[in-house]
Amino acid sequence: MLSLAAVSAGYGSFQALFGVSLEVPRGKAVGVIGPNGAGKTTLMRVISGLIPLRGGAMSLEGRLLDGLPAHRMVEQGIAHVPENRRLFPRLSVEDNLRIGAFVPQARQRFAEQLDWVYNLFPRLKDRREQAAGTLSGGEQQMCAIGRALMSRPKLLLMDEPSAGLAPLVVAQVFELVHRIRAEGLTVLIVEQNVQQVLEVVDRAYLLEVGAIKLAGTSAELKDNSFIRKSYMGL
Amino acid sequence: MDPYLIEAIINGILLGGVLALLALGLNLIFGVVDVVWIAYADIVMCGMYVIFFLYTEYGVPLPLACLIAIASMAALGVVVHLLIIAPVLDSAPINQLLATGGLLFFLQSFATLLFGTDFRNIGVRLPILESATLYISFSRLIAFAVGLIGAVALYLFLKRTYIGTAIRAVAQDREIVGLMGVDQRRIYLVTSAIGGALAGLAACLLALQYDVHPYIGNTFGPVIFMICVLGGLGNMIGGFIASFIISQIIAIGGYYSNTELSYVFAFTFFIVLMFVRPRGIFAR
């Protein structure tokens, strides 16, 4: 569904990605793992249009996405749950979700989508009037995911959903990923929490210093001695 | 209580309504676009001239002249954003201040060139309401009521519509709104248009009470900034409340001394509070 071919990108004179190629098949969950500063967040930002491509090509369902700004990517069916959630802290939970349905095609189905998200995350419904900034870390992550789902995306990008959360909450967040997958969504997830992300994805790529070092099914990567030694501490 | 004091307090409340409208416009633009429009009160001046000429020279009925003034100030807001603000959006704040400050001098000089320095009045005399001992000007009452209606309309717009919600979202995290499909540049334009329209609405209300001249903006421009800073720049509710605090100081100060001194009181209050609460009374 999503296909990246030799994508390069960076900020100013700094190049963060060097010829990254990857595939996310429809209905699958794909992980990108790697250390801090490997370019994982840059990769997400390139796919959602926050940073322009410098080289290579990117397509969704065969349509080229190159050069589209972020607000047009949502119309194409890509929703991005940003690193650190980035909720609008003084807006209510429901207003955060409403913003998620900003694009015209999502607005028409706002009520239906809202029911769906509240069904998926009943906690959000209990807290719909509350300012998003007052939610707990796990609830904020639910709200951020819910906000992205409101646009009824084909592809959901998740950037470090477990970052900054307590271990128990991290387990809950990965359980959320399971629930989203069960809804038939295609997911691309970037994580430092290698062990747990390999439990929820079908395939994964290892990104190091802006380039793909390894790729395989999650079972293959779990057995890979380099991954086990460097990323799982086994 | 002395009826003149009661009258002063009531007039203070009525003045607060118009100031609140202007403070809302300035705060809205600052909160969303993150640029202070130094020339905001001069947009009001332009609106007053539009009403004056349409009504007195071209015989356009006053309500229609007001609507045209509001619409043309909304358009002026968009033009100001595109020509002056957009090119300096990523510049240092001091450059943005210089740019909008330059606009202030440009508008004042341009108006002087076109219309001279004459004081002009639209010549509408609304009745004065009299009760037993009080005299309340009807035009002030209208200004207050319309100012409040404008504020409530703005509130509902920001709370109830997608664009309004997006405007509030941009004010909180401008970088990330694109991920929700919100085009930041479009939100800036809509916000500038609303800010301009609020200035136009204030122009309608002030034209009923004041003569228009090229420097009328100087009369209340500094007061509006003081109000916005006092309420916490960008904090719309803070600005709204601060409008009534300042207008009361001006009104009651005017009762005990005179109008000129009452502004001295207001600014002294402001300066002292800036030492005590530098980020505004309602700083979060």
Domain of residue A114, CATH code? 3.40.50.300
Does residue A16 lie within any of the structural domains? no
CB A13 within 8 A of CB A188: no
**Per-residue pLDDT, B113:** 96
Asked whether residue A176 carries a pLDDT value surpassing 90, the answer given is no
**Per-residue pLDDT, B131:** 77
Asked whether residue A123 carries a pLDDT value surpassing 70, the answer given is yes
Q: What's the domain count of chain A?
A: 1
Distance CA A207, CA A17 (A): 9
Alpha helices in A150-206 (DSSP H): 167-182, 194-200
With CB atoms and an 8 Å threshold, state whether A99 touches B176.
no
Distance CA A5, CA A64 (A): 11
Asked whether residue B94 carries a pLDDT value surpassing 70, the answer given is yes
**Per-residue pLDDT, B53:** 96
Q: For the segment A39-63, what is each residue's pLDDT rounded down to a tens digit?
A: 999 999 999 999 999 999 999 999 9
- Angle, vertex CA B239, rays to CA B82 and CA B6, nearest 5: 130
Asked whether residue B282 carries a pLDDT value surpassing 90, the answer given is no
Residue A132, min C-alpha distance to chain B (Å): 12
- Which residues in chain A touch residue B182, judged by CB atoms under 8 angstroms apart? 71, 99, 102
Decide if B59 touches A, using CB distance below 8 A.
no
Q: Can you tell me the mean pLDDT for A151-160?
A: 93
Asked whether residue B283 carries a pLDDT value surpassing 80, the answer given is no
B105 CB neighbour count, 10 Å cutoff: 12
- The pTM score is 0.90
CB A51 within 8 A of CB A7: no
Decide if B187 touches A, using CB distance below 8 A.
no
CB A50 within 8 A of CB A127: no
- Which residues in chain B touch residue A80, judged by CB atoms under 8 angstroms apart? 179
Helix (H, G, I), strand (E, B) or coil at A116: helix
Close Cβ partners of A175 (under 8 Å, ≥ 6 residues apart): none
Close Cβ partners of A168 (under 8 Å, ≥ 6 residues apart): none
Interface pTM (ipTM) of the complex?
0.88
β partners of residue A158 = A81, A189
Determine the residue type at A137. G
- Angle, vertex CA A51, rays to CA A109 and CA A203, nearest 5: 70
Q: What is the H or E stretch that residue A23 is in?
A: strand A14-24
- Which residues in chain B touch residue A99, judged by CB atoms under 8 angstroms apart? 162, 165-166, 169, 177, 180, 182
Per cent of chain B over pLDDT 70 is: 100
- Which residues in chain A touch residue B166, judged by CB atoms under 8 angstroms apart? 99, 102
Does residue A2 lie within any of the structural domains? no
- What token pair was written down for B93? 């704040």
Q: For the segment B125-181, what is each residue's pLDDT rounded down to a tens digit?
A: 888 888 777 788 888 899 999 999 999 999 999 999 999 999 999 999 988 999 999
Sole residue written with tokens 């069916």: A77
Distance CA B210, CA B249 (A): 20
Domain ranges of chain B: 3-216
Chain centroid to CA B200: 9
Residue B143, min C-alpha distance to chain A (Å): 31
**Per-residue pLDDT, B284:** 61
Secondary structure (H, E, C), chain B:
CCHHHHHHHHHHHHHHHHHHHHHHHHHHHHHHHCCCCCCHHHHHHHHHHHHHHHHHHCCCCHHHHHHHHHHHHHHHHHHHHHHHHHHHCCCCHHHHHHHHHHHHHHHHHHHHHHHCCCCECCCCCCCEEECCCCEEEHHHHHHHHHHHHHHHHHHHHHHHCHHHHHHHHHHHCCCCHHHHCCCHHHHHHHHHHHHHHHHHHHHHHHHCCCCECCCHHHHHHHHHHHHHHHHCCCCHHHHHHHHHHHHHHHHHHHHHCCHHHHHHHHHHHHHHHHHHCCCCCCCC
| Closest chain A residue to B185, measured at CA | A71
**Per-residue pLDDT, A49:** 92
**Per-residue pLDDT, A181:** 86
Asked whether residue B101 carries a pLDDT value surpassing 80, the answer given is yes
Interface of B with A in 142-181 (CB under 8 A): 162, 165-166, 168-169, 172-173, 175-181
Does residue A13 lie within any of the structural domains? no
Exposure string for B37-51, b = 16+ CB within 10 A, e = fewer: bbbbbbbbbbbbbbb
CB B211 within 8 A of CB B255: no
- Which residues in chain A touch residue B183, judged by CB atoms under 8 angstroms apart? 69, 71
What is the average pLDDT value for chain B, to the nearest integer? 92
CB A152 within 8 A of CB A75: no
Q: For the segment B201-254, what is each residue's pLDDT rounded down to a tens digit?
A: 999 999 998 999 999 999 889 999 999 999 988 888 999 999 999 999 999 999
Domain containing A154: what range? 25-50+69-231
CB B227 within 8 A of CB B243: yes
Q: Which among A49, A99, A103 is the nearest to B169, CB-wise?
A: A99
Does residue A182 lie within any of the structural domains? yes
Q: How confident is the model at residue A28 (pLDDT cuts 50, 70, 90)?
A: very high
**Per-residue pLDDT, B260:** 86
Asked whether residue A29 carries a pLDDT value surpassing 90, the answer given is yes
